[in-house]
Amino acid sequence: MKIQYDLKGQNSNAWKGGKIKHSNGYIWIWTQEGYKLEHRLVYEEHYNCCLLDWAEIHHKNGIKTDNRIENLEGMTNIQHGKLHHKIIDKSDRICIECKATKSYTNKYRHNEPRWIAHPITKLRWICASCYQKIYRQLNKKMEAI
């Protein structure tokens, strides 16, 4: 006699009612097709739709476990990436090198400044990209000495 082991869903030893909080902070729910992200299920059920792979559901307040429909917003993965990975400094400063009024940076690089006091004048502002150019030039001059 062959013993069958079905360790999926309710028959699993690790069954906790069908909800799991993953290490990345999202809640997964057991369905007949396997585990699915709770916020995607809530969005699909509310709008009676089927989300495609390139669709993203954004948590407006940034709390990954807050899956209320008013906190969820549908968008493409490109829109979602732009929303999370780029920020703009709107402090009305003007770069004295390139005359830019906005400075872009990746928000996950906490040590990369958006605006810096000019390394020579110390009184005026330059954007992060111009700072990198000036910093490289100054290093080259220092190495030549």
pLDDT of residue 86: 56
HEC sequence for the chain? CCCCCCCCHHHCCCCCCCEEECCCCCEEEEECCEEEEHHHHHHHHHHCCCCCCCEEEEECCCCCCCCCHHHEEEEEHHHHHHHHHEEEECCCCCCCCCCCCCEEEECCCCCCCCEEECCCCCCCEEEHHHHHHHHHHHHHHHHHC
In a domain, 98, yes or no: yes
- 34-75 residue pLDDT tens: 889 999 999 999 999 999 888 999 998 889 999 999 999 999
Print the domain residue range for 136.
Answer: 90-144
Q: Which pLDDT belongs to residue 98? A: 84
So what's the pLDDT on residue 107? 53
pTM confidence score: 0.53
Q: How many domains does the chain have?
A: 2
Q: What is the pLDDT of residue 71?
A: 93
d(CA 16, CA 90): 47
pLDDT at 1: 47
| Domain membership flag for residue 3 | no
Q: Are residues 77 and 129 in the same domain?
A: no
Which residue ranges in the chain fall short of pLDDT 50? Answer: 1, 110-113
Pick from 43, 64, 83: which residue ends a domain? 83
The last residue of a domain, from among 83, 102, 134: 83
In a domain, 2, yes or no: no
The confidence score (pLDDT) of residue 111 equals 46
- Other beta carbons within 10 angstroms of residue 11's beta carbon come to 9
Instruction: Please give the Cα distance from 28 to 7 (Å, whole number).
Output: 17
Q: Are residues 36 and 70 in the same domain?
A: yes
Q: Quick one: 68 and 112 in the same domain?
A: no
Say if 60 falls within a structural domain: yes
Residues 57 and 106 reside in one and the same domain? no
